[in-house]
Amino acid sequence: MTLLKTHALTAYYGDFQALYGISVHLDEGETVSIVGANGAGKSTLMAALTGQLKSAADMIEFDDKPIGGLRPAEILSRGIALVPEGRQLFPSLSVEENLQVGNYGRKTRGPWNLTRVYSLFPILKERKNQASTSLSGGQQQMVAVGRALMSNPRLLLCDEISLGLAPSVIKDIYKAMAEIRSEGASVVVVEQNIGQALAASDRLYCLLEGRVTLTGRPDDLTREQIRLAYFGGSNP
């Protein structure tokens, strides 16, 4: 059953239009990836989905209910959690406190709690009282993911979780993603790293200049198609 659906979603930063009618959907339990170059609109889409950017109410439907334009806290309480681009941990809070703050706005029973998050990322348990910013990039990413999981979201949005990480660390993060999927969460993965996105998702959307230029199953898409959709234009 469809969990998330957008209908010709548009979004503006002041006068500047950033999304020109995005229509995507996600079924429960699916993992969908959204790829595109810098400035293609991926993070804008995330901002719109989480209520940081205003949109018309019926442009975004979650669980068959319109959520466009709701405040971020409200959207979180309905079960959409974001792992923000650049991790964005709270520097004044320790690792454990960062995790704890994750369920401030939504305390639902579910598979994810501190213990479970620590078993997914054991290194965090060792460092739970350290300042979150003293961790390595990969560990910080784990904290950011764990923080989002603490609210037991029905839909997890991951914005560029491989950004700035070494390849081996990226592998670890995506291994964790597999485990998260197995617990039943539906996931949207936003990536510039196409290889990773293709490997981790059931379906893919490609954005360019605020529009969807390609969609399909990874196996059905050719490199050429993706390259065209990613960069746009035609070959010389």
Partner 1 sequence: MLDPKNYTVAKSTRTSRTALVFIFVLVVLLAVAPALVSRSLLQDLFFVLTMIALAQCWNLLAGYGGLVSVGQQAFVGLGAYIGFAGSILWGLNPMLAILLAGVVGAALSVPTAFVVFRLQGAYFAIGTWVAAEVYRLVFAQWKALGGGTGTSLPSGVAKSIAGLSWVREGLDIKSSAARDVISYWIALALVVVIVGAIYAFLRTRSGLALSALRDNETAAESIGVDTRRAKFAVYIFAAFGAAITGALIFFQKASITPQSAFSVIDWTAFVLFIVVIGGIGTIEGPIIGALILFVLQNWFADYGTWYLMALGAIAIAVMLVAPRGIWGLVQAKYDFSIFPTRRRLLGPDTPVPDYTQPIREMKLPPAKGVHAADTPLEVPTMFDIETDVLIIGSGPAGGASAALLSSYGIANIMIEKYGWLANTPRAHITNQRAMEVLRELGIEEDAIAKSVPQELMGNNVFCTALAGEEIGRLLTWGNHPSRKADYDLASPCRICDIPQTLLEPIIVAKAMESGTITRFKTEYISHTQDENGVVATVRDRVANEIYRIRAKYMIGADGANSLIAEQLGLPMDGKMGLEGSMNIEFEADLSKYVAHRPSVLYWIFQPGADIGGIGAGVVRMVRPWNKWLSIYGFDIKDGPPNLSTDEAEQIVRQLIGDDEILIKIGKLSYWTINNMVARRYAKGRVFCMGDAVHRHPPTNGLGSNTSIQDAYNLCWKLKLVLEGKADASLLDTYNDERQPVGRQIVTRANKSIEDYGPIFETLGITQGGSADDVKRRMDSRKQPTVEAEAKRKALNKYIRQKSYEFNCHGVELGQRYSSSAIVSDHTAEPEYTRDRELYYHPTTWPGARIPHVWLDRDQQSVSTLDLVGRGRFVLLTGVSGAGWMEAAARASAELDIALDAIQIGPGCSVNDTFGDWAMQSEVSDSGMILARPDGHVAWRSHMLSANPTGDLLAVMRQILGRT
Partner 2 sequence: MIYLDTIIQGVLLGGLYALFALGLSLIFGIMRLVNLAHGDLMILGAFAVLVGVDALGLPIPLAAVLAGIFMFMVGYALQYVLLNRTLGRDILPPLLVTFGLSIILQNGMLETFSADTQRLNMGGLQEASISLFGGLAIGMVPLITFISAIVVILFLNWLFYSTETGRAFRATSDNPQIAQLMGIDNDRIFALAMALAMVIVAIAGLYLGARATFDPLIGPSRLIFAFEAVIIGGLGSFWGTLAGGIILGLAQTFGAQINPEWQILSGHIVFLIILVIRPKGLFPRVTG
Nearer to partner 2, 75 or 165 (CB): 75
Question: What are the residues whose beta carbons fall under 8 Å from the beta carbon of 39, sequence distance 6 or more?
Answer: 209
Does residue 199 touch partner 1 according to CB under 8 A? no
Does residue 236 touch partner 1 according to CB under 8 A? yes
**How many Cβ atoms from other residues are within 10 Å of residue 90's Cβ?**
14
Min CB(112)–partner 1 separation in Å: 30
Min CB(209)–partner 1 separation in Å: 4
Alpha carbons 25 and 117: distance in angstroms, whole number: 28
- Residue 91 interacting entry, from partner 1, partner 2, none, C-beta within 5 to 8 Å by type: partner 2
Residue 178 DSSP label: H
Q: Which of 174, 190, 185, 15 is nearest to 86 (CA)?
A: 190
Does residue 193 touch partner 1 according to CB under 8 A? yes
Category of 41 on φ-ψ map: left (φ > 0), alpha (ψ -120 to 50) or beta: left
Binding partner 1 (rule: CB under 8 A), the pick from 1, 14, 182, 219 is 14
- Give contact residues for partner 1 (rule: CB under 8 A): 13-14, 16, 37-41, 192-195, 208-210, 223, 226-227, 230-233, 235-236
